[in-house]
Chain A
């Protein structure tokens, strides 16, 4: 017998006695179907895109992330340039993309591109990581990134400043909608990595005092493009 069979056998044996369902105290009853979306219990989100953008802005601010709407990619490039000057960036990490390419051209800094693999120390010495994303979640102020859509796993966590370039059509109301979006996009071909990023890296492990930039980025900036 394999370990798999041993454990599954133990489980099947254990489950021969049914446990009462939490909704019914008087013994086992057929369980009610699970709700398709838990939205009615979760924090409310407005129905229009403008309301969602506004909620995302408030949440991002609470999470100490930067958020800015840009009318076009040039404006985004200009804004990232001010960040680069203020932060004294000497080198940036990025992946090739519709938005990342023009913004990187605007910056004109030495680049580490992660597309075809990279040297870890090379990426580690970058001052910022420039990525795109899968979705923005209004309800939580989160950015959803994936390995194929954001230059892999490390680009969005290793450099000390993470800059996200997103489009308005990527704004979704809640986590359910964000997860549904990736399920529809990838179907059975899921990437090995998906992450909801909610603000810059943080810790409260010393006296429960909030410190930003524990291991990941100290700063997170999200730019919303048309």
Chain B
């Protein structure tokens, strides 16, 4: 077992034992389920919408070269600078370079999982730049120096008292248990930062090929301020974010809001198509778009799992996943948690190191059923299991299987084995759970059913006796 798998198992073991925290997460998600269903039901046909969304993303991802080229060319025509980053290092170096070139003093950043993926903040801080997360949830976890707990709800694991204590310790604010007061504390801090920052960094939810624009979805207005006031705006965009047409947003914006947060539409859905244009009163003088590959093309090459690139990062699969609800977001040790993270992390960071996540599933299929773009998530977990074992066969397991097959093909040996088992089982009970127990891996968390006193064949023989 590798280090990542050991860490995952250990963290998961601790989290599942923490019943209070599990209750907390379930409670936080209960409101989401109610709202998500309410707004899904307002759609004339949610399933039809999913089919169409899947078809649009299929079109985009399976003609990615054409759409990306169109997207970049149109952006460049309006004065944006597009940087194509083959890997995380190139993306980080480029963005640090932009910050150096403009001698920026303060950087404000809105939420971006792609930036988390390449550990952009660490790179900027190491280069001597201060970066402040402006999304409230992200700001809270940044102050706590921990990664986001959830793709969409970064601070869902925290209680208001913890946030109050955190703000008291780090910002010197009065303690309060009122979420509104806590939000206003962050608002006041952030207002100063927006006005002072000379560089804004954002992600993007969609990249529109037809018109050369990025689309950013948010509720707080922090991304709008991040991209309005500083003189430089850098947007980091995964290459899979492309949509062919502007009109596709009419479908994707309501679906993202409903699946992701249980909202009919998110508060701000903003399109950015370049730096400040002639005649416009404000906006950054420079607009950089960093298109990140970082092994997405390897996932693209796997036709069987290519649809994993359809993901719009709504987080709906996390919210319904029994594993996520029990082990929590931090146990995964990945940028992308939950079912989608378990599917794509082995592609982005190495199959052998992250194959254990394919087992972190009950294969119940709730993720696949809820996915607004119909990614075949739970089957991809099986594909990853198969691919991992093909690439590196487990010798011990193979030996056990060979022995099993040998025995199953010899009825007399099987019968003899069952008889021995029946004799030995009472002895196993004496050492159950200790290191002497040969079934320890199983009996640690489960009971081992007693073997029947007589096998079917024995009973049959007895009945046939006169």
A43 at the interface (CB under 8 A from B): yes
Beyond A151-B281, A214-B183, whether A10 also contacts B297 by CB under 8 A is yes
Task: Please give, as numbers and ranges, the residues of chain A lying within 8 Å of B44 by CB-CB distance.
Answer: 40-44
Task: Please name all residues of chain A whose beta carbon is closer than 8 Å to the beta carbon of B247 when the two chains form the complex.
Answer: 36-37, 176, 179-180
Q: Which partner residue on chain B sits nearest A176 by CB separation? A: B250
Instruction: Determine how close the nearest CB of chain A comes to the CB of B204; give it in whole angstroms.
Output: 14
B31 CB contacts on chain A under 8 angstroms = 208
Within residues 73 to 87 of chain B, which ones have a CB less than 8 A from any CB in chain A?
78, 83-86
With beta carbons under 8 angstroms apart, the residue of B153, B219, B297 that contacts A202 is B219
By a CB distance below 8 angstroms, the chain A residues around B306 are 19
Residues of B143-174 at the interface with A, using a CB-CB cut-off of 8 Å, are 153-156, 158-160, 163
Q: How large is the interface on B (under 10, 10 to 19, 20 to 34, 35 or more residues)?
A: 35 or more
In the bound complex, how far is the Cα of B186 from the Cα of A23, in angstroms?
Answer: 47
Chain B hits for A129, CB < 8 A: none
B221 and A214 form a contact (CB under 8 A): yes
Q: Is the CB of A174 within 8 A of B250?
A: yes
**Residue count of chain A within 8 Å CB distance of chain B:** 88
A6–B84 touching, CB < 8 Å: yes
Assuming A148-B279, A201-B267, A205-B140, is B272 touching A175 (CB within 8 A)? no
Contact status A18-B62, CB under 8 Å: yes
Are A38's CB and B183's CB within 8 A? no
User: Which secondary structure dominates chain B's binding surface?
Assistant: helix
Residues 179-213 of A contacting B (Cβ, < 8 Å)? 179-180, 183, 190-209, 211, 213
Decide yes or no whether A140 CB sits under 8 A from chain B.
yes
Q: How many A-B residue pairs have CB under 8 A?
A: 301
A193 touches B153 (CB 8 A): no
Question: How far apart are A161's CB and chain B's nearest CB, in angstroms?
Answer: 13
Q: Which label, helix, strand, loop or mixed, suits the secondary structure of the A interface? A: loop
* B269: contacting residue among A43, A195, A200, A215, CB under 8 A: A195
Which A residues touch B183, using CB under 8 A? 203, 205-206, 211, 213-214
Query: B180 at the A/B interface (Cβ < 8 Å)?
Result: yes
Do B274 and A22 touch across chains, with their CB atoms under 8 A apart? no
The residue on A at minimum CB distance from B183 is: A211
A195 neighbours in B (Cβ, 8 Å) = 224, 268-271
Q: Is the CB of A196 within 8 A of B265?
A: yes
B442 at the interface (CB under 8 A from A): no
- B254 interface hit (Cβ, 8 Å): yes
Interface pair B265/A211, CB less than 8 Å apart: no
Q: Does A100 contact B (CB under 8 A)?
A: no
Complex contact B220–A215 (CB within 8 A): yes
| B112 interface residue (CB < 8 Å to A) | no
A66 at the interface (CB under 8 A from B): no
- Given A11-B300, A140-B265, answer yes or no on A205-B272 (Cβ-Cβ < 8 Å): no
Interface-lining segment among A69-77, A80-88, A114-122: A114-122
Q: Is the C-beta of B42 less than 8 angstroms from some C-beta in chain A?
A: yes
With a cutoff of 8 Å between Cβ atoms, the chain A residues found around residue B313 in the complex are: none
A175, B283: Cβ atoms closer than 8 Å: no
Scan A4-34; emit 1 where CB is below 8 A from any B CB, else 0.
1011101111110111111100000001101
Bound complex: CA A21 to CA B55 (Å): 7
Q: Is the CB of A203 within 8 A of B220?
A: yes
- CB pair A23–B51 under 8 Å, yes or no, is yes
B120 within 8 A of A: no
Q: Of residues A38, A192, A199, which shows the largest number of chain B Cβ atoms within 10 Å of its Cβ?
A: A192
CA distance A124 to B303 in the complex (A): 51
Shortest beta-carbon distance from B24 to chain A in Å: 9
Contact A214 to B187, CB < 8 A, known contacts A140-B264, A202-B219, A206-B160: yes
- Chain A residues with a Cβ under 8 A of chain B: 2-4, 6-8, 10-15, 17-23, 31-32, 34-44, 59, 62-63, 95, 114-118, 120-121, 124, 140-142, 147-148, 151-155, 157-158, 174-176, 179-180, 183, 190-209, 211, 213-217
11 other contacts beyond A154-B225, A208-B32, with CB at 8 A cut-off?
A3-B85, A4-B72, A7-B293, A19-B58, A21-B58, A37-B247, A42-B250, A43-B42, A197-B267, A206-B179, A215-B190
30 A-B residue pairs with Cβ-Cβ distance under 8 Å, sorted by A, are A3-B83, A3-B85, A3-B90, A4-B84, A6-B84, A7-B297, A11-B65, A11-B68, A14-B297, A15-B300, A19-B303, A23-B55, A31-B62, A40-B44, A41-B52, A42-B49, A43-B44, A117-B281, A141-B265, A153-B227, A158-B228, A179-B250, A192-B78, A194-B270, A198-B269, A206-B160, A208-B153, A214-B220, A215-B191, A216-B267
Which B residues are closer than 8 A to A by beta carbons? 28, 31-32, 42-46, 48-49, 51-52, 54-56, 58-59, 61-65, 68-69, 72, 78, 83-86, 90, 134-137, 140, 153-156, 158-160, 163, 179-180, 182-184, 186-187, 190-191, 194-195, 211, 213, 219-222, 224-225, 227-229, 239, 244-251, 253-254, 261, 264-277, 279-283, 287, 291, 293, 297-298, 300-301, 303-304, 306-307, 374
